[in-house]
Amino acid sequence: MAFRVGVLVSGEGSNLQAILDSVHGRDGVEVVCVGSSRTEARGLERAEGVGVDTAVFAKADYPDREARDAALGNWLDDHHVDLVVLAGFMEVLSGPFIRRFEGRIVNVHPSLLPAFAGINAIEQALEYGVRVAGVTVHFVDEGVDSGPVILQEAFELPYARDIAAVEQRVHEVEHRLLPRAIQLIAAGAVSIDPDQPRLVRVDDGRSR
Ligand code: GRF
């Protein structure tokens, strides 16, 4: 039986593209639906291009965020998703949604969490003057970018800080790390230790 993935986007969708290119249709993993918070998101076109079902869940179309998230959750359940992937989904999801899909939502964030949570993480890191930057894939809890870490990858920053170059480097890492995390979860290689719920065990052949 396929491992069914629903992806949520808000914009460009380059992470979605990486998932479609390297995970979708392989090793029993299928992206079955792509939802967006914005009609203009290019991610929608990318999904439609490969025949994946799409829908828009804009907050403005609902009385409040919880109503939007309930409709989004029903749509994801209709698609029988095993995992919800936030790939550049630029909105905070409400508590009932997080609890409904507890332990089954992952997010990619362009910093080494817990540093620089929230928006504009790359700008925050450059303003701070860090020498090492990176990417985090983590489970989503009810806080902002605060759930247990699944994978992280760091890289050193050159002294001359060109934000476009740093963004490009971040994207290269994201486009490897997020698909890898999905493959590992689909393979049953990722688990949270019930006695230490911050600790995510990843059986990826390396001792972690
Ligand atoms: C990524 O940098 C991700 O870390 C952040 O939003 C960006 C989305 O990029 N949360 P894209 O839409 O996948 O191209």
- Reported as a single tens digit per residue, the pLDDT across 111-156 is 999 999 999 999 999 999 999 999 999 999 999 999 999 999 999 9
Mutate to test the pocket of ligand 1, among 107, 123, 174 (most ligand atoms within 8 A of CB): 174
- Average pLDDT, whole number, for the chain? 96
CA distance 113 to 46: 29
pLDDT at 14 over 90: yes
Query: What was the pLDDT predicted at 158?
Result: 86
- Reported as a single tens digit per residue, the pLDDT across 73-121 is 999 999 999 999 999 999 999 999 999 999 999 999 999 999 999 999 9
pLDDT at 207 over 70: no
Q: Measuring CA to CA, which residue among 100, 91, 89 is closest to residue 60? A: 91
CA distance 131 to 72: 39
CA distance 81 to 121: 29
Non-local (6+) Cβ contacts of 91 within 8 A are 10, 37, 59, 65
Residues designated catalytic? 109
Helix (H) or strand (E) holding 78: helix 65-78
Query: Cα(120) to centroid of ligand 1, in Å?
Result: 11
Mutate to test the pocket of ligand 1, among 19, 36, 106, 108 (most ligand atoms within 8 A of CB): 108
Query: What was the pLDDT predicted at 135?
Result: 98
Non-local (6+) Cβ contacts of 7 within 8 A are 16, 19, 31, 33, 34, 35, 43, 47, 84, 85, 87
User: Do you find a cis peptide bond into 63, omega within 30 degrees of 0?
Assistant: no
The verdict on pTM exceeding 0.95 is yes
Query: What was the pLDDT predicted at 1?
Result: 83
pLDDT at 175 over 70: yes
Ligand 1 pocket, CB under 6 A: 9, 11-15, 87-88, 108-110, 174
Query: What is the arithmetic mean of pLDDT over 55-70?
Result: 97
Which stretches of the chain are assigned E, i.e. beta strand?
Answer: 3-9, 29-36, 53-56, 83-86, 105-109, 132-139, 149-156, 190-192, 200-202
Query: What was the pLDDT predicted at 137?
Result: 98
Query: Cα(87) to centroid of ligand 1, in Å?
Result: 6
Residues in the chain: 208
Query: Cα(109) to centroid of ligand 1, in Å?
Result: 7
